Amino acid sequence: MSDIHAFIDNKVKTNDVVLFMKGTPDFPMCGFSGQVVQILNYLGVPFKGFNVLENNELRDGIKSYTNWPTIPQLYLKGEFVGGCDIVREMFQAGELQTAFTDAGIPVKAPAA
CATH of the domain at 27: 3.40.30.10
This prediction has a pTM of 0.94
- Total count of domains within the chain: 1
Q: How confident is the model at residue 19 (pLDDT cuts 50, 70, 90)?
A: very high
H helices, E strands: number in the chain: 5, 4
- What is the side-by-side order of every strand in the sheet holding 79-82? 48-51, 17-21, 73-76, 79-82
111 is a domain residue: no
Give me the domain span that covers residue 45: 3-102
Q: What is the average pLDDT score of the chain?
A: 95
Q: What are phi and psi of 16, to 5 degrees?
A: -65, -45
**Tens digit of pLDDT for each residue in 85-104?**
999 999 999 999 999 999 99
pLDDT at 1 over 60: no
